[in-house]
């Protein structure tokens, strides 16, 4: 009876140590840092663990191994006489003992606890912080000796020094991403919190944004030949209402600068005299790199070129900031962008509107891809050509009727959800 009690106790301890080991590894480190600000006994204990992660893991391993050794001895005492009644071969007796003991320990002290503790690792760490601290102190001398011995071997064999600073990095981008996802998954998210989470998510995703995802396409760039008259340029500013007009030489694929409307108050004699330098960047460039370039060069406008050197579009510092903060209406955003909801399943949209914007606002669940950004691009990508007026296209649960179209793009469509 005593042996059975010891076996159950060792199984429970082994399960505890295994579970707490995986809970520490799987826990969101940022959440742990935020909990630390509560200044409770539990938060102070967890602060000790996060400051010395190697020591924590070593403590769990020491405790687990001690429990497994005692478990093995006790199981042998119980199983050997019982199996010997049916089997005479010592080798077979040992094999059966090993198989039974291993199956029991793997299920009850490895698979089951690790699965359970991974479900909510931060809660597990907080809930069991005090008992873990008890074993942390009890096994401290043994753990220190083992860690010193291990580090000595590693430094000799691999010629590498293990520093405490490298071991105790608080958290990284993955932990930030985990925290945001955790907030989005909750059922009761307040409107303000949802907005903050979206900003946080956009900031995390910003490092992956390419310029081709946020520029104004070349078809919407207002441009003039450098040989034009200054009076013509003035009239163009009045007609368009734009603050900047691009200036090219011979073709729009050779943009050499831009003129800002404010320069006209100085009464320049020619377009060349009013010209400002514009940055030329590839469409594959990361948005955050251009943001740094804008800051360094003290510029706010860049021309985006494709792999052949042709003009793909134009990007401003505002376009880049929109990737984090959402839509900020400017002169290019106000080009008759139509978005009208006719019913729960029918909408009128401009082809220029971005897919992710429609999904966020109207919950349409339109497919998103790196191959297109706008509704116009989505239709052309799937239809493989520019459709004609009144043509009806069916794409993945959506019926799209073309209302307005030109030779180069789709201007307006009627989108209907197909149940």
Question: On the CB side of 213, how many CA atoms lie within 13 Å of its CA?
Answer: 23
CA distance 378 to 360: 16
CA distance 366 to 376: 12
Confidence (pLDDT) at 248: 95
Asked if residues 277 and 297 have their Cβ atoms less than 8 Å apart, the reply is: no
| Residue 401, pLDDT above cutoff 90 | yes
- Give me the torsion for CA of 406, 408, 409, 411, rounded to 10°: -30
CA distance 137 to 49: 12
Query: Tokens 């089951």, residue?
Result: 112
CA distance 368 to 346: 20
CA distance 154 to 151: 5
CA distance 122 to 43: 11
Task: Provide the 10 A C-beta neighbour count for residue 105.
Answer: 21
Asked if residues 301 and 316 have their Cβ atoms less than 8 Å apart, the reply is: yes
Q: What is the pLDDT of residues 324-363, one digit of tens each?
A: 776 665 555 545 678 899 999 999 999 888 898 899 889 8
In 3D space, the residue among 75, 53, 98, 88 whose CA is nearest the CA of residue 8 turns out to be 75
> pTM score, two decimals?
0.49
The two structure tokens encoding residue 405: 């179209």
Q: What is the pLDDT of residues 43-87, one digit of tens each?
A: 888 888 888 888 899 999 999 999 999 988 888 888 777 766 676
In 3D space, the residue among 192, 331, 306 whose CA is nearest the CA of residue 252 turns out to be 306
Q: What residues are paired with 276 via a beta bridge?
A: 258
| Residue 188, pLDDT above cutoff 50 | no
Beta strands at 339-341 and 346-350: parallel, antiparallel or unpaired: antiparallel
């Amino acid at each position: 009876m005593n042996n059975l009690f010891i076996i159950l106790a060792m199984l429970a301890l082994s399960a505890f140590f295994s579970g707490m080991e995986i809970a520490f590894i799987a826990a969101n480190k940022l959440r742990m840092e935020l909990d630390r600000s509560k200044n409770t006994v539990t938060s102070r204990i967890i602060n000790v663990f996060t400051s010395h992660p190697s020591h924590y893991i070593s403590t769990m391993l020491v405790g687990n191994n001690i429990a497994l050794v005692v478990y093995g001895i006790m199981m042998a005492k119980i199983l050997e006489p019982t199996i010997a009644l049916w089997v005479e071969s010592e080798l077979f007796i040992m094999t059966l003992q090993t198989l039974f003991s291993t199956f029991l320990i793997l299920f009850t002290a490895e698979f089951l606890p690790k699965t359970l503790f991974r479900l909510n690792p931060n809660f597990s760490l907080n809930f069991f912080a005090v008992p873990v601290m008890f074993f942390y102190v009890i096994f401290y001398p043994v753990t220190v000796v083992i860690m010193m011995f291990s580090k000595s071997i590693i430094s000799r064999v691999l010629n590498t020094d293990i520093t405490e600073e490298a071991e105790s990095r608080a958290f990284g981008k993955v932990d930030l991403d985990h925290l945001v996802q955790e907030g989005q998954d909750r059922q009761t998210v307040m409107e303000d919190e949802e907005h903050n989470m979206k900003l946080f998510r956009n900031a995390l995703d910003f490092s992956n944004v390419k310029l081709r995802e946020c520029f104004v396409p070349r078809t919407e760039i207002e441009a003039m030949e450098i040989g034009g008259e200054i009076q013509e340029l003035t009239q163009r500013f009045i007609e368009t209402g734009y603050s900047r007009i691009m200036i090219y030489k011979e073709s729009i694929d050779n943009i050499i600068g831009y003129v800002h409307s404010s320069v006209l108050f100085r009464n320049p004699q020619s377009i060349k005299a009013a010209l400002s330098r514009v940055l030329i960047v590839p469409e594959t460039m990361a948005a955050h790199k251009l943001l740094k370039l804008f800051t360094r060069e003290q510029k706010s406008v860049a021309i985006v070129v494709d792999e052949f050197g042709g003009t793909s579009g134009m990007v401003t510092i505002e376009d880049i900031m929109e990737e984090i903060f959402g839509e900020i209406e400017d002169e290019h955003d106000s080009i008759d962008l139509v978005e009208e909801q006719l019913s729960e399943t029918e909408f009128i949209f401009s082809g220029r509107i971005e897919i992710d914007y429609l999904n966020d606002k109207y919950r349409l669940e339109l497919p998103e891809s790196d191959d297109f950004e706008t509704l116009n691009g989505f239709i052309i990508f799937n239809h493989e050509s520019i459709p004609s007026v009144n043509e009806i296209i069916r794409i993945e649960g959506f019926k799209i009727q073309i209302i307005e179209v030109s030779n180069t793009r789709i201007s307006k469509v009627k989108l209907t959800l197909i149940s």
